[in-house]
């Protein structure tokens, strides 16, 4: 059974600092990995999707890398802003087609 772990569970940084969020998964047989953002009490917003054949994806200040062989992905957020405060979740799409989520990293960016 695929297990997805996100470390740390919570992170607090001053505005302007770069954020590094980690995600690991136990089964490397995945189709893709997605990073989502969730604001309190709200649904999820897709940030980046990395196909299994890709090594990284970039969108604006966000960059996500994928290393399937080691079962790891990292989400980098450059020059963090208070508006980046949210919970960030990674999810992998494994062979059984059941999207598996990590517990998330809650980020607080202090002004």
Partner 1 sequence: KAGVTQTPRYLIKTRGQQVTLSCSPISGHRSVSWYQQTPGQGLQFLFEYFSETQRNKGNFPGRFSGRQFSNSRSEMNVSTLELGDSALYLCASAVEAGAQETQYFGPGTRLLVL
**Does 21 engage in binding with partner 1 (CB under 8 A)?**
no
Among 66, 86, 102, 105, interactor with partner 1 by CB under 8 A: 102
Closest by CA to 89, choosing from 18, 25, 15, is 25
Number of neighbours of residue 48 by Cβ within 10 angstroms: 19
Q: Does 41 bind partner 1 (CB under 8 A)?
A: yes
Judged by DSSP in three states, 27 sits in: coil
Among 31, 55, 58, 108, binds partner 1 (CB under 8 A): 31
CA dist., res. 109 & res. 111, Å (int):
7
Chain residues in the site for partner 1 (CB under 8 A): 31-32, 34, 36, 41-46, 49, 51, 89, 91, 93, 96-104
């Amino acid at each position: 059974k695929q297990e997805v772990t996100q470390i740390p569970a919570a992170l607090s940084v001053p505005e302007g600092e770069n954020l590094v969020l980690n995600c690991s998964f136990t089964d490397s047989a995945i189709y893709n990995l997605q990073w989502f953002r969730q604001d309190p009490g709200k649904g999820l917003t897709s940030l980046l999707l990395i196909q299994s054949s890709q090594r990284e994806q970039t969108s604006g200040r966000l960059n996500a890398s994928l290393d399937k062989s080691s079962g790891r992905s990292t989400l980098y957020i450059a020059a963090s802003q208070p508006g980046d405060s949210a919970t960030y979740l990674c999810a992998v799409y494994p062979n059984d087609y059941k999207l598996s989520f990590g517990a998330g990293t809650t980020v607080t960016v202090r002004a």
